[in-house]
Amino acid sequence: MKKKIAILLLLVTSMYSCKEEIPKVDYVILTGNLINLKSGGNILVRNSKGFSKQIKVPVTGQFIDTLYLDTSVYMMRFNGYQRTEVYLKKGSNIHFTFNGAEFNSPYTFSGDLSTLNNYYVQKSSIEKSFHETGGPDICLLEEDVFESRLTKRQKDMERVLLATPDIPSDIKDKEFRNIYYERLKLMESYNGYQNDIVQKKYRKNHKLNEKFAKELEALDLNNQTDYLYSSKYATLVSLSIDYKAKSFRDKDGIPYGDAYVKAISEVKNDFIRENVLYNNLYAGSSLVNSKVVVNAFLSLSTDESRIKKVKRLYEDSAKLLSGKPSPKFVNYENNAGGTSSLDDFIGKFVYIDIWATWCLPCKMQIPFLEALEEQYHAKNIEFVSISVDKQKNKQLWKDLIKVNKMKGIQLIADNDFKSDFIKSYNIKRIPRFIFLDPMGNIISYNAPRPSQTYKLKGLFDESGVK
């Protein structure tokens, strides 16, 4: 009897040990069918945590690609324009289609997670309507009008979310919070334009500023779940740390870098703290000049790739300090005709705007930049705008300049973000503003924006613009 039991146990053990193990799938299969394309292009898949991949699309419009990434929400954009959010989950097969003959044609998803991703398409449509209704000067609206539109945007998105069936409850909860974070970030953008020009010409009160400050102060900065899901939450965490750092700097009379380390130490989640530090350093923030901030990152991170990049950026940042010769651009196409090089402007101060036609924050700076150009028209300064649009989208660049009657010197970089000039300044996010002296030396490689009029005019005055 004992012998029979032993044999039986051996057989059972053998069955389990011989059972084929199912390999763990750590990728996403993305397929697309883009109809009516006149030429091929690129699908960009990216998120705010550093993932970015370009997928080539042939003129047939059909492609398939394997993406090795973390499960999260990503931004997907075709040729810099048709864009939508998309939820990519390891092990899923995602398929979409849209009509390439229609500008900003909506995406239609099928396959895995199609209900959720088609919700994101509807949400993108609401977002597009919100900005189109207000126009590029939406942040110049009176507060009650802006707040009313902001409230409508939030309610419309929440209504669509509630009406969409089969969205997993955990994602639905995160998305409700994300819609709130988006509202809070839009409030911050609106308040960011409260400068002396806007206050005198457009606004009477600033109640939204007080609301935003209170809500940001109450924000939990240690929610790793939301940090991974919501790019707007990640941005708000970074903003909160920046505001606290400036407060410490002013109150304690210490350098901003030291104040920043003090502020970020209040974030107890190591993952969030490391990522906020890395994203700021990698994006070309002036923090990369601060040894104490760089050391704070190096003492926290165990990612050898990131450590290597930050060390290189710190070494390269020494070339961009005030007084150093600016990297040069040569023979950039000028919308007015011919080409222009940086050396053409020797003898005058130069304020450079790095932007693109697809960048909404860039376009929101246009009215402020126009006002500055008008005010300093007869002074010893040139205003140079450099687009990082792809060369194949050059006509869109020309059309936008014409439609908006943009002044100043309008140039387009020779190789978008891959241009030597852009790479030399480590520009990965736009808009970016650079201020040079009449000898072509750097005054600030991360100068105030035109909307920060009081701060920017102060820099002009102390530098000798007259």
Decide if 186 contacts 216 (C-beta within 8 A): no
CATH number of 24-112: 2.60.40.1120
The superfamily (CATH) of domain 332-463 is Glutaredoxin (3.40.30.10)
Torsion sign over Cα 435, 410, 374, 433: negative
In the chain, where does the domain assigned CATH 2.60.40.1120 lie?
24-112
Residue 318's identity, in one-letter code, is A
Which of 176, 168, 170, 159 is closest to 115 using CA atoms?
168
Q: 312 φ, ψ to 5°? A: -65, -40
In the chain, where does the domain assigned CATH 3.40.30.10 lie?
332-463
Give SS3 for 398: helix
DSSP for residue 296: H
Q: What is the pLDDT along the chain (466 residues), one digit of tens a residue?
A: 545 444 444 444 444 444 445 556 789 999 999 998 888 888 889 887 778 888 999 999 899 999 998 888 888 888 767 788 899 999 999 999 988 777 677 899 998 999 999 999 999 889 888 877 655 566 677 788 888 899 999 999 999 999 998 898 999 999 999 999 999 998 888 776 654 445 444 444 566 678 888 888 899 999 999 999 998 999 999 999 999 999 999 999 999 999 999 999 999 999 999 999 999 898 777 788 889 999 999 999 999 999 999 999 898 888 888 999 999 999 999 999 999 999 999 999 999 999 999 887 898 889 889 999 999 988 999 999 999 999 988 998 999 999 888 989 999 999 999 999 999 998 988 999 999 999 999 999 999 999 888 889 999 999 999 8
Tokens, residue 132 = 């189109």
Burial of 187 (0-12, 13-18, 19+ CB in 10 A): buried
Tokens, residue 360 = 């909404």
Decide if 398 contacts 335 (C-beta within 8 A): yes
Give SS3 for 354: strand
Which of 321, 323, 319, 273 is closest to 293 using CA atoms?
273
Decide if 222 contacts 247 (C-beta within 8 A): no
Decide if 179 contacts 435 (C-beta within 8 A): no
Tell me the pairing of strands 381-387 and 349-355.
parallel
Q: How far apart are CA 84 and CA 108, in angstroms?
A: 10
Question: What are the strands of the beta sheet with 349-355, ordered from one edge?
Answer: 339-340, 332-334, 409-412, 381-387, 349-355, 432-436, 442-444
User: Is the overall model pTM greater than 0.75, yes or no?
Assistant: yes
Q: What is the DSSP string of 179-205?
A: HHHHHHHHHHHHHTT-SHHHHHHT-S-
Give SS3 for 102: coil
